[in-house]
Amino acid sequence: MTSLAHFEEVARAIELPRDAVIDGRLQPSLSGRRFDNVTPRNGTVLNGVAECDTADIDAAVASGRRAFEDGRWRNLHYRDKKRALFALADLIKRDAETLAVLESLDVGKPIKNALKGDIPGVVSTLRYYAEALDKIYGEVGPGTSDRFSFTVHEPLGVIGAIVPWNFPLLMAMWKVAPALAMGNSVVLKPAEQPPLTALKLGQLALEAGLPAGVLNVVPGFGATAGKALGLHMDVDMIAFTGSGAVGRLLMQYSGESNLKRVSLELGGKSPQIVFADCPDLDAAALQAAWGIFYNQGEVCTAASRLLVHEDIADAFLDKVLAIAKGIVPGDPLEPATSFGAMVSAEQMQTALRYIEGAAQEGAALRLGGKRARIDSGGFYVEPTVFDSVAPQAALAREEVFGPVLAVTRFREPDEAIRLANDTVYGLAAGLWTRDVSLAHRAAREIRAGLVWVNGWDACDITMPFGGFKQSGFGRDRSLHALYKYADLKSVSITIR
Ligand code: NAD
């Protein structure tokens, strides 16, 4: 890959997006206000982004509604819808480097990851749903000689997509692509910390020929723009990824307004269990380290709890620590960097607070624990590992959303399964064993939406993604996500 100087040059040359995309046009907020968009790379302001509010949300929803009702997208021949979505995927691919640099600058993630992970994932997600959109079939009911009955999947209408800051464009695409493929209009509210790639997506959608109003992108704060979307009487569904606290609010907003559907992808405290008969300790150690430190630990499925059998715990932990010591915070735009900055000063402080609390609760600090690269002005935290974390400790129960691993030892397989389930969350879990029966039993007994055996995060767009318990409900990815954006209609025709 090329050099830091190259990516800095690319960054300087980009005209940073700053306006909302509403009704097919780039627009400042109606109030004229802008908010400072800060890069966690060095804490400086990148640009001022339109601070949209209730009035802008109203305009975007009205535009989405017009587009839906007149059928300019919904009733477009599936061949043409598909062509438009593939054209958008091609434009994202064309601008992959620009998008990756924007994502890296705005989130603090390593450019390498944005280029090789986020942006290709965005393209393949869009292509997956573009390919799927003409393979949506209804059913024919049993009927009688004088009645013919069938079902159709109909788009819901206007979808409000509210997304988080950790994988801003990918999380947006997990919602935008299936919602558009089903024929809906979308109003996308990106997280305020990194709004740039969503705004660029709105621009590219226009260039790709998506009709005006079909994809509106409205940057702004959660408590204003996000709330206005959640309470809107003309939004048919909120598709949300983010924290449980905001998920709760969105369900309230739904009840207070028009009973819009809500789907929630929330947080996690995901366990990775290493049984004594782990088939490959080196592979497991690699996944234990990267399962928590990828994207600075800012991953909803982060393997933040490592449950390891006491017979192998010391040797296994040594392997994890050896890998983790090589993961050093670096400049996100430097191509060699594999661990960047945390998204904001606030998120960094949260991680540091949990680190302090864990030490006070008696866990043994084995690595890291401090802020890093302070001179850069950015928001960096060292990869941190705590051993002997008690199952009741905050670090074992609460989502940090940062690079902090909690290690707990166990004796019996059933104890490990019990510990894995001893959480309000249920997003992901991993387990390492040679024992086929144990693998099957544990995979079934663990209450989580995603279970990986002998690998971590070992799945892709073809498999549903989402949580049990307080990790939410509704699924992203796979064909299940497509049907989430549709209503099921029964039609019965009496034959006379
Ligand atoms: P957050 O809930 O603070 O914000 C998410 C989005 O909600 C942002 O766009 C924000 O502006 C908006 N928002 C905030 N207050 C709002 C309100 N009152 N009304 C409407 N919208 C509002 O979450 P975050 O800090 O951006 O993201 C971190 C969380 O997201 C973590 O809990 C993480 O686990 C979760 N997450 C889950 C998944 C998943 O797929 N399950 C993926 C990524 C992140």
| In contact, 250 and 258? CB cutoff 8 Å | no
Phi-psi label, residue 474: left if phi above 0, alpha if psi -120 to 50, beta otherwise:
left
Q: Which of 279, 371, 287 is nearest to 323 (CA)?
A: 287
Instruction: Look up residue 299 and give its amino acid.
Output: V
Q: Whose CA is nearest to atom 14 of ligand 1?
A: 222
Pull the structure tokens for residue 189: 């509210």
Please give the distance of CA 48 from its chain centroid, rounded to a whole number: 24
For the cut 70, the answer to whether the pLDDT of residue 43 exceeds it is: yes
pLDDT above 70 covers a percentage of the chain that reads: 100
Q: Give strand pairing partners of 50.
A: 34
pLDDT at 345 (0 to 100): 98
Which one of 54, 166, 344, 450 would you pick to mutate in the ligand 1 pocket, going by the greatest count of ligand atoms within 8 A of its CB?
166
For the cut 80, the answer to whether the pLDDT of residue 1 exceeds it is: no
Question: Using 50, 70 and 90 to split pLDDT, how confident is the model at 143?
Answer: confident
Q: Whose CA is nearest to atom 28 of ligand 1?
A: 242
The DSSP element (H or E) to which 284 belongs, if any, is helix 281-293
The string of pLDDT tens digits covering residues 8-40 is 999 999 999 999 999 999 999 999 999 999 999
Lining residues, ligand 1, CB within 6 Å: 162-166, 171, 189, 191-192, 222-223, 226-227, 230, 241-243, 246, 249, 265-268, 300, 399, 401, 427, 467
What does pTM read for this prediction?
0.98
Q: What contacts 24+ positions apart, CB below 8 Å, involve 347-351?
A: 347/298, 347/379, 347/401, 347/402, 348/40, 348/379, 348/380, 348/381, 348/402, 350/400, 350/401, 350/402, 351/297, 351/381, 351/384, 351/400, 351/401, 351/402, 351/403, 351/404
Pull the structure tokens for residue 450: 């995603």
Pull the structure tokens for residue 329: 């915070």
The string of pLDDT tens digits covering residues 464-484 is 999 999 999 999 999 999 999
- The catalytic residue positions are 265, 300
Q: How many Å apart are CA 214 and CA 177, to the nearest integer?
A: 12
pLDDT at 378 (0 to 100): 98
Question: Rounded mean pLDDT of 396-404?
Answer: 98
Q: Whose CA is nearest to atom 20 of ligand 1?
A: 226
| CA of residue 143 to ligand 1 center, whole Å | 46
Q: How many Å apart are CA 173 and CA 126, to the nearest integer?
A: 7
Q: How many Å apart are CA 395 and CA 337, to the nearest integer?
A: 27
Q: Whose CA is nearest to atom 26 of ligand 1?
A: 164
Atom of ligand 1 nearest to the CA of 465: 40
Which one of 189, 193, 229, 243 would you pick to mutate in the ligand 1 pocket, going by the greatest count of ligand atoms within 8 A of its CB?
243
The string of pLDDT tens digits covering residues 170-223 is 999 999 999 999 999 999 999 999 999 999 999 999 999 999 999 999 999 999
Mean pLDDT of the chain: 98
| CA of residue 125 to ligand 1 center, whole Å | 21
Atom of ligand 1 nearest to the CA of 230: 20
pLDDT at 196 (0 to 100): 98
In the DSSP assignment, the letter for residue 194 is S
Q: Whose CA is nearest to atom 8 of ligand 1?
A: 191
